[in-house]
Amino acid sequence: MLTKAVETYIAMRRACGFAFKTEGAYLRGFATYSDANGFHYVRSDIAVEWARQGRSACQRARRLGNVIRFARYAHAEDARHELPVASLGPEKSLRPVPYIFTSEDIQRLMQSVSRSGYRTLRRSTYYTLFGLLACTGLRLSEAIHLRYADITADGLVIRRTKFKKSRLVPLHATAHAALARYLEKRRSYAPMDDHVFISLRRKPLLVADADRAFRIAAGKIGLRREAARPRPTLHALRHTFAVRALETCPDDRERITQHMVALSTYLGHGHVAHTYWYLEATPQLMRDVSERCERFVIGDRP
């Protein structure tokens, strides 16, 4: 039975340290489908037929890709397992080019949010939040989950991260001062709650609250999506921070590596490749990359 071979493969991959949750679910689904149709060995036509049931092009490609990798393993033990061809396209979709704010955009956005809504803590909350996102590159979820104890002399302790790992984000003295000014106003507003950012409901700020405030402020200053351009979002402040940090990257190859690793760690990326993606974000960065490549090819190596 194909199901037994799949379970053996899943156990082997997990013994090697892979979580293999989604992949295992895919393969169990394929084995059940194949066995139900009377085929107890991998068949290329059945694999493609099953994979085509995915909802999107990427999901269909991932389904087939998992079967292909399993088939290679199974074929080594039993040649009756066929080796399907990757005929449904790439398994990963291309990441879109991010929206990048200019310095003037950020200044206008901050001015807009500081004047929006009622003359209450709301103005200071979003002014401080947006400024913090712009100067640190934090994810929005990381910022709104900050507690008083997470603000230290060495920086911000980010405890609730995308990859379940904590990290320390150093802060410039001006950012420390801005947070201190905000907290002086905020502490008396909801003294029983230790979240740094709270809403007018005197409860922890929600992602939807921040997104709504951003759309209102962006609309007032005319930051709207243009044809063939990415949409400006609050998360784009993180993209902008990463790009500006990359633009300051040194020339020396060893220092470039150190710079990229440091930035990847600072941003809380699970893999440094996620940081390299930002190199595609602006003409300036692409120009720098092409110039470095040209110098390397002609022999001007650092």
In a domain? residue 230: no
Handedness of CA 227, 229, 230, 234 (dihedral sign): negative
pLDDT at 280: 63
Euclidean distance between CA atoms 124 and 62, whole angstroms: 46
Catalytic residues: 139, 162, 235, 238, 269, 278
pLDDT at 235 over 80: yes
Low-confidence winner among 155-159, 228-232, 239-243, 287-291 (lowest mean pLDDT): 287-291
Q: Distance between CA 142 and CA 30 in Å, rounded?
A: 38
Q: What are phi and psi of 151, to 5 degrees?
A: -95, 110
Distances (CA, A) of 243 to 106, 134, 136, 246, 300: 14, 12, 12, 5, 26
pTM of the model: 0.68
Mean pLDDT, residues 1-6: 91
Mean pLDDT of 214-237: 85
Identify the domain containing residue 201 by its residue range. 103-220
Question: Do 129 and 206 share a domain, yes or no?
Answer: yes
Quick one: average pLDDT of 200-215? Answer: 91
CA angle 38, 39, 40 (to 5 degrees): 115
pLDDT digits (tens, 9 = 90+) for 132-173: 999 999 999 999 999 999 999 999 999 866 666 788 999 999
Cα–Cα dist 233/278, whole Å: 16
Tell me: do 266 and 193 sit in the same domain: no
| Alpha-carbon distances, residue 172 vs 82, 132, 153, 175, 207 (angstroms) | 59, 10, 11, 5, 25
pLDDT at 301 over 60: no
Number of domains in the chain: 3
Question: pLDDT tens digit string along 14-38?
Answer: 999 888 999 999 999 999 999 999 9
CATH assignment of the domain containing 175: 1.10.443.10
Give the span between the Cα atoms of 295 and 257, in whole angstroms: 18
